[in-house]
Structure 1
């Protein structure tokens, strides 16, 4: 079934006094029908129920739980980037009951994944949270209580821990490897057709803030919003967007060129300290 078949037909009620209707053509995505009624978001950009639903659903599909306006600021090439509260999206997207259920379930799961990181203990299958993001050796309190002695497992290979600890690279199990790091080292190169001078960039990058491995969809500008920590960075030079834009623009080559393949993955300090 196609997306068009799944999406219900939606329209604003022109008598709804709680909405501000506009006629200017600055939607986040223009509809083919110029007579479609448009409403103004809190940031000032206009949307239709269909365009807003499609945009926010695409963000959820990319693992993003913060809805931001993708429109360009007037007379610039800078994105608006204003955050839209879910309550506003729910109302102006005219979400159906089924869509609300889908959105809210996805939002809850994504928000939980951002603030907590859990894996199943290989001994008892209980979900365990890792407190120290720099240490792969994790203590399972359930197995420890049941066996009467410390039970530690490797966060990376999910086998019982072998070797000295703490360690951030691997345990002494022979099969313990960092699969994300292997992906970064062996990925193919890609180009960003709309960015000047970017024709050979690694196709996978680890977010410089949290280490999430991401792929650019090769459309639009060189910056990408991390689906886990919600921090925007330049896919080319790996600097945070504000730093990169000090010496270039969204569609220009970075001053320092293309950053080499990453040989380590940043650990996410959720406290920000």
Structure 2
């Protein structure tokens, strides 16, 4: 009702939620934002802070300035950073910053290992490690491992930053574990008692009365009668004979409509949108045209969503080599 009212006057509504909160905020804008930059500008203006103090989140990834789908019907997650990171009381030290020495700007905070860093450098270092899926936050001087509570306090993290770190650390742990998988329906973490049985029951889905409450441990899709993992993956014939399309936004022509995920070989068909593709099975992000992977921040190596790049040839599945 609220959205329909403003649409009568030619305005758009945009919904977002802070990473650390449950309440939904709605902005009334002249037009619907279509890029990360536009979202950051609109949200930061409404909060009275700088655009550099805001990031747009997709699950456990901080999005960069490339095109994304910010539909009025979708809820966008926002991470608000601490603008000025302060050293906690009693933790200030005159020791050199372990990253920039005496060239570092600002006060230094003393870590549990007695070495020091500015809160901003500490935060950036740990965020870089996390984006590289490395959960070992170690001192650059002595290799002492710091735990998240210490990092959060001494880097003066915002509530959003702390929740994002916790969420991302959990996801990295799951991705690196062979004993825990995420239910594809409700996203709850599951383990299995019988390591030889591929059919795993999600107790949450079963309790909530969902029709399908089992999934395949191998290919991570809902379990069906006569399930066969191979039917969810490509055959070489499909790759060799698929239709060719022109990518939206970048106008890249003669791109195969069907690709195999470069990491897990899941069948992926491009229906619409830009060249950025996220595999729903292994969460690998890559360019649908040149197949190059995104970096640790989810940014494509071949440029923004509208950038032209080479068209990779038809893939040859590993099991056919």
TM-score over 0.5 for the pair: no
TM-score range, shorter chain: 0.3 to 0.5
- TM-score of the superposed pair, with normalisation by structure 2: 0.37
- TM-score of the superposed pair, with normalisation by structure 1: 0.42
